[in-house]
Amino acid sequence: MRWTVLRHFAISCLLVATTLQVAARTRPHYGGTLRVETAGDPWQKPDGVARRFVFDGLTTFDARGAVRPALATDWASDDADHRWQFRLRPGVHFHDGTLLTSVNVVASLNIACPQNCPWTAIHAVGPYVVFTADSPMPNLPALLATDEFLVALTISSDGKTPPATIGTGPFQFMGAKGGVLSFTAYESCWQGRPFVDVIEVRVNRSVRDQWLDLGVTKADVVDVPVESLHMAQQQRLDVTVSAPVQLLVLQVSDAAPLANPLLRSAISSAVDRIALANVVFQKQAQVSASLLPQMLTGYGFLFPTERDLNKARSLRGGLPSPQLTLRAEGDGAMQLAAQRIALDLHEAGFNVQVVRPDAARANLTLRLLPLEGSSPEAVLDVLLRRAGISIPTIGDDSAALYKAERAILDQHTLIPLLDLPAGSASSSRVRDLHLRADGAPDLAGVSLGDAP
């Protein structure tokens, strides 16, 4: 009996201790240095990894793509969306202590968008930032949530021009040394202090080296390009994959020698999307012939994705094939995809030469456009604006959206190819790593556990 009681007591103590220990491990705790490695420039627009934890926008997307308040607490439109006013969050300070004001915001946005802005004019009116435009801006809150319109300090309190790295985000830039950028937690962040004390970002690191560093616990968060997602999973990395957040498109110039829409249509039919998705992007991409993903609109299947080489040749007909140039923005898989598209077009009778990414002009451009947000109209608005295509007036219903998209695609200046996710891999000591709406890891919410 006594042994039985003692045994029950011991088991109970063990269970309590285990439960307490589990609770202690799951609760995030402050401190530590998060080591991030990236192949690109962390300050690069758009989507540089540092921009999102140094700067904030007036609005932001939540994980599901819905627009949420950020530096602006609320907003309202009138005059049929021709005028918007955003009320600034009070008590927000930049990293140098400068109080966030509507004047700062207006100055920052004017620098961020010197021309071809969604708005015609922007004004600071007390705690409000007021946007006005000649045409309606129904998706302005979503546009302001994108990376393009993050707010940085451009006028310091003493009237001097501050460094371009001062924002209101959870981490502030401390400096760079030996290719490593250091960011420390901003104690007075309006979102609250982040868990991690320091983020170190090692830049211009090849993916292969990033993975090696991750394997030997020298890195905590590393890039995983789309085409390497499968390999990363095979190598049993802790990979986080987003929903499709980017659209791979072939942007076709409508100027000579491709002024003829039939030639552009032939190009659209000649591209083998499936080969790109299955081989170049290792089955990690979704074939798409529509601008908006199927999951957003539900009508994506109406746009044929199959390659039709005969149709392409027929459309090209006997038209002479001038020397075309194709430029891919990005490296790695983007360049390979461009080479493949050049081969596809060669089969259809086009003479295409792939040029360097920094080439000034090209007849064809392979590029990635963002698919951020949960509102199809807003996503299309952001996407077309990034592509430099004039935005048509879009109705509220799906039919109108379909018609607008069909009208755009019928011009064959923007040929959708694939919907691509984003991915990253993290070490086992990284906790609560979530992806933002643009597929990038949300480092502000990360905490570090003990090393294994």
- Cα distance between residue 213 and residue 222, in whole Å: 9
Q: Would you say 324 or 401 has its CB closer to another protein?
A: 324
- Cα distance between residue 48 and residue 54, in whole Å: 11
Segment 224 to 243, residues that bind another protein, using CB under 8 A: 230-231
Q: Is 325 in the site for another protein (CB under 8 A)?
A: no
Looking at 113-121, 154-162, 182-190, 335-343, which segment touches another protein (CB under 8 A)? 335-343
Place of tokens 């923007």: 414
Looking at 154-162, 168-176, 338-346, 383-391, which segment touches another protein (CB under 8 A)? 338-346
DSSP line for 367-401: EEEE--SS-HHHHHHHHHHHHT-PPPP--SSHHHH
At its nearest, how many Å lie between another protein and the CB of residue 206?
14
Least Cα distance to 135 among 79, 67, 59, 87 occurs for: 79
Q: Is 152 in the site for another protein (CB under 8 A)?
A: no
Q: Is 182 in the site for another protein (CB under 8 A)?
A: no
Q: Is 164 in the site for another protein (CB under 8 A)?
A: no
Tokens of 108: 């920052």
- Summarize the chain as % helix, strand, coil (round to 5): 30, 25, 45
Phi, psi of 324, deg, nearest 5: -105, 150
Q: Is 204 in the site for another protein (CB under 8 A)?
A: no
Q: Is 343 in the site for another protein (CB under 8 A)?
A: yes
Q: Is 385 in the site for another protein (CB under 8 A)?
A: no
Q: Is 336 in the site for another protein (CB under 8 A)?
A: yes
Q: What is the DSSP letter of 279?
A: I
Binding mask 251-290 for another protein (x = CB under 8 A): ------------------------x--xxx-xx-------
At its nearest, how many Å lie between another protein and the CB of residue 343?
5
Alpha helices in 306-352 (DSSP H): 309-316, 333-347
What angle do the packed helices 261-270 and 333-347 form, to 10 degrees?
Answer: 110
At its nearest, how many Å lie between another protein and the CB of residue 410?
28
- Cα distance between residue 220 and residue 267, in whole Å: 43
Note the residues at the interface with another protein (CB under 8 A).
Answer: 230-231, 275, 278-280, 282-283, 336-337, 339-340, 342-343, 353-354
